[in-house]
Structure 1
């Protein structure tokens, strides 16, 4: 097996990363516009959209896990030269995603009021929250389709077309927010319903466009819907990838909620600490978009290399992306270190909350190499189909270290948010140690499908 030239490998890393970076930035801009427009309508609407956004993250977990399975299965199949297997996995993940999305629409609709009560929605927010939840539930099949098709196209290294579609539909979403949510340019003002329907239309349109793009790419043909016997074999592989990925998402999200609870119950200045943590994480979400893009790109490269049987190339791609992401993000956070006060001032006018936000950014910037390395390594194991390793790393680092240490340092030793942030750094260090040990010492490549898998 011939190794890919070093310059060519760096070019592949960059060509896959920058479109993902821009796509994530566009998606973040859409979410920011939704929140801003909701705030212009009223604080109740803004609070409702924030509340339903948390519920939406949980409902999207299955779709994201299915997309992760698609990246590993399709990229490995393409790398192995198994075009029909790639088409069959494409058909299988699309079928599974649509069935899951439609089932969630009906289940969510039936238990909609129960969901709102479980989230302890205040009575004065029930009406707008119910509007958002109902329309967002109808949007789920389109969002599942969009997430899966984008993952499939990423797996075949087609990342620029999804970027263009995301940009066009994102602009449509923003225009709909302003026109029908706020009533700009003489259009009727529908308020919360206008914001929700704008999301529905833009997501559904983008999903349909990218779905039909699969045909000229040769990923959807008459043999894309596999026979039942093949579905059983292929489904087992997807479950082996998807279930740990779903477990990782559950561990992270529940751990995040409990960190908020620990911060909210600090013995001193807990309100400002929680507000500072929330503001700091919003800044973090923007700054670390390039790292998430690196995670997506390295999953594809590793999947292609392992599918073709080139384990050495997969290992080298992991090393190269680690260097690119860690050095790049470290330089970025070093530059932002000098304007951390200004960044905090963009998020709040309150002096105490600003101090707490700056405190969070200090810990966040110092631990940037750890966080970025963890994201990249999770992407490496995703491309290999070895998603159980990230799941175990989150279990030990978040539930075994971060949560108990956050409570002990934050409530007993330091009695401040600094204890919570030190625990975050410690947990990232533990997670990195686990993932590096797996990368260097464990046989994580054994989960890969290759051309020898004749049953598929």
Structure 2
């Protein structure tokens, strides 16, 4: 009876944390689509420029993503251990780090924005729009970092409905600003590209300010959030041990993705249509990818809190339950999409050749969807445990040692079509899943977590004893 109640509680927690994250990611996806759609109505140069800057912004956000992963691990484990003061100090530390990194990147990027555009090989006719978007996007980085980190912190405390409401309101404000000031709807002054850029800027800072107020209201952001210097040194060390591998993972993924695009674009047979089909297919893939990312976010919190309570066996069971939940649910969704893959491809492009390439991508992608979902869930497990180095090793092996060389060999030498690239992507996902699952079963990934005990504090075993004593004494 007790085991049945525990299972029921576990499944309820998985669902309660996951569905708001799915809606939040879908809102973000809708905002991005609206930006691109509105830019297309202004002009093709503006649409191309916003896509170019969006890719640059993803790279600049890697530090914020790493800080968010560190926050999820540290805060969820601290709350699970019942260490509220320690949780608040980690919150203050990661917010200061995120804000400082965002300001530094904004200043450095503003000084070097022409060099950044030159590095991205921006055509001359795109420079005016691209420079405008890049300048405003750079100065929105501090707000984006605070927004991302605050959302991660609230999720770590299992507060998910209020951030969802904030995301819906600010997303609606962003879309309204795009239409009102970007396109001049409803009699508002039409500012074109500048209207789109400033609408995003305003909505980001509105969302960040609102989430900080929510942190304050939830008593997660208080005067004692700024830790003493000795505590900050030790706590910062733990955040670095979690955040640096997460940063490396993000960089490996982003750069590997760009290289796959280059390999596809330079295929011997019809590389341009192959690239267009890949791009269109990835937008359809988001229907599966975004819910899988939401599952990753949820499992990270639940594993972190379980390990914070010292429940190592429960953390393992949560990982298995989320694998079953996510892979089963996403496989069912994929099965439904499989039967309409041709219709979905037709919606993305009227060109028959691009449609054929899109369908080809979707065939490989849908068949390997369970692998992709399982990999994302396992990465979330290791984020929650603070064992992000395992995710880094898996991406290094699967993407850089398997996917990229195999994509070139199969795509350019064997198949000479996009099928070679897609086969390589599928094989690399198998390699990554085997690597991560082996770590889940046989590696001591739980040792990286902080826990709380009745007679004192225990931090991850790889944290120096002096740091452990400093954190424990300050948290008493």
The CA distance in 2 between the partners of 1:27 and 1:268, in whole Å, is 35
Q: Does the residue aligned with 1:120 lie in a helix, a strand or coil?
A: coil
Q: Does the residue aligned with 1:251 lie in a helix, a strand or coil?
A: helix
Partner of 1:80: 81
The CA distance in 2 between the partners of 1:180 and 1:205, in whole Å, is 17
Partner of 2:380: 379
Partner of 2:342: 341
Partner of 2:236: 235
* Structure 1, unaligned runs of 5 or more: none
The CA distance in 2 between the partners of 1:165 and 1:137, in whole Å, is 23
Query: Could you list the per-position Cα deviations for residues 27-59 of structure 1 after superposition, in whole angstroms to 9, with x for gaps in the alignment?
Result: 000000000000000000000000000110011
* Structure 2, unaligned runs of 5 or more: 459-468, 472-476
Q: Tell whether the 8 Å contact from 2:14 to 2:322 is kept in structure 1 after alignment.
A: yes
Partner of 2:464: none
> Are residue 126 (structure 1) and residue 127 (structure 2) matched?
yes
Partner of 1:177: 178
Q: Does the residue aligned with 2:429 lie in a helix, a strand or coil?
A: helix
The CA distance in 1 between the partners of 2:31 and 2:221, in whole Å, is 30
Query: Could you list the per-position Cα deviations for residues 216-262 of structure 1 after superposition, in whole angstroms to 9, with x for gaps in the alignment?
Result: 21111121100111010000000000000000001001110111111
Q: Aligned-pair distance for 1:373? A: 0.1
Partner of 2:474: none
Partner of 2:470: 455
> Are residue 286 (structure 1) and residue 287 (structure 2) matched?
yes
Instruction: Identify which range, 257-266 or 423-432, moves more after superposition.
Output: 257-266
Partner of 1:388: 389
What TM-score comes out, normalization by structure 1 length? 0.99
Q: Aligned-pair distance for 1:215? A: 1.3
Partner of 1:258: 259
The CA distance in 2 between the partners of 1:201 and 1:254, in whole Å, is 30
Q: Which aligned segments of 4 or more residues in structure 1 are displaced greater than 6 angstroms? A: none
Partner of 2:9: 8
Partner of 1:310: 311
Partner of 1:218: 219
Partner of 1:352: 353
The CA distance in 2 between the partners of 1:215 and 1:185, in whole Å, is 37
The CA distance in 1 between the partners of 2:360 and 2:290, in whole Å, is 21
Q: Does the residue aligned with 2:223 lie in a helix, a strand or coil?
A: coil
What TM-score comes out, normalization by structure 2 length? 0.95
> Are residue 434 (structure 1) and residue 444 (structure 2) matched?
no
Q: Aligned-pair distance for 1:455? A: 3.2
The CA distance in 1 between the partners of 2:96 and 2:107, in whole Å, is 17
Q: Does the residue aligned with 1:38 lie in a helix, a strand or coil?
A: helix
The CA distance in 2 between the partners of 1:73 and 1:198, in whole Å, is 33
CA RMSD of aligned residues (A): 0.9
Partner of 1:71: 72
The CA distance in 2 between the partners of 1:275 and 1:179, in whole Å, is 31
Q: Aligned-pair distance for 1:406? A: 0.6
Q: Tell whether the 8 Å contact from 2:230 to 2:470 is kept in structure 1 after alignment.
A: no
Equivalent runs, 1:19-168 vs 2, <5 Å: 19-168=20-169
The CA distance in 2 between the partners of 1:57 and 1:301, in whole Å, is 27
Partner of 1:296: 297
Partner of 1:190: 191
The CA distance in 2 between the partners of 1:169 and 1:271, in whole Å, is 37
Q: Aligned-pair distance for 1:289? A: 1.2
Q: Does the residue aligned with 1:215 lie in a helix, a strand or coil?
A: helix
